[in-house]
Chain A
């Protein structure tokens, strides 16, 4: 079944540790996105990539980095996790912007 997969499903992480959230899509979409979802704040864009080899900053990029080496994969890295990065992280993709976005199942991250 075509779609977006995210790994891990959930993770508990000690503050200061490095963590990479994985995202893979098999729809050959050009654009990919990372959001975080927090109670009362809704979804906020962290980073995006309009096409392989390019990335851009969203609304809340600090503390996060991304890479887009190929069309299918868009990993999100927390270089040194802090408790305020406790959240649910969603990866999404679209054929291009500003087209319909398709979302993965999410990764629930807890930073202690």
Chain B
């Protein structure tokens, strides 16, 4: 059974820092790995999707990497801003999308 873990559960950083959010999964037979953002009281917004054959995807200041063999994905956020404050969720797709419990990020001015 696929299990997805995100570390750390919470992170607080000053504005401008580069940061890395970690995601690990137990079953490497995935179709893709997806990263989402969730603002308090809101739904999820899709950020990046990495196919199993890809190593990374980039969108603006966000870069997500995937290492299937080690069961890991990272989300790199460059030059963090207060507007990046949210919960970030990763999800691994095997026969369905399995979510981690998220990393709650706070970026303070």
Contact = CB atoms under 8 A, between A and B. Distances in A.
Interface string A35-49: 000001111110010
Name the interface size band of chain B: 20 to 34
A98 B44 contact: no
A100 B32 CA distance: 9
B46 A101 contact: yes
B96 interface: yes
Given A43-B89, A100-B34, A90 B97 contact: no
Interface string B78-107: 000000000001010100110111100000
B108 interface: no
B42 A106 contact: yes
A59 to B, nearest CB: 7
A85 B73 CA distance: 32
Contacts of A45: 96-97
Contacts of B101: 40-42
A105 B102 contact: no
Contact of B99 (A42, A48, A97): A42
Given A41-B101, A42-B99, A43-B99, A98 B93 contact: yes
A58 interface: yes
Contacts of B93: 97-98
Given A103-B44, A104-B43, A42 B34 contact: no
**Which 4 A-B residue pairings sit nearest by Cβ, starting from the closest?**
A103-B43, A98-B93, A103-B44, A98-B31
28 contacts: A4-B43, A33-B97, A40-B101, A42-B89, A42-B99, A42-B100, A42-B101, A42-B102, A43-B99, A44-B99, A59-B96, A90-B43, A97-B93, A98-B31, A98-B93, A98-B97, A99-B49, A100-B34, A100-B46, A100-B49, A101-B34, A101-B46, A101-B97, A103-B36, A103-B45, A104-B43, A105-B43, A106-B42
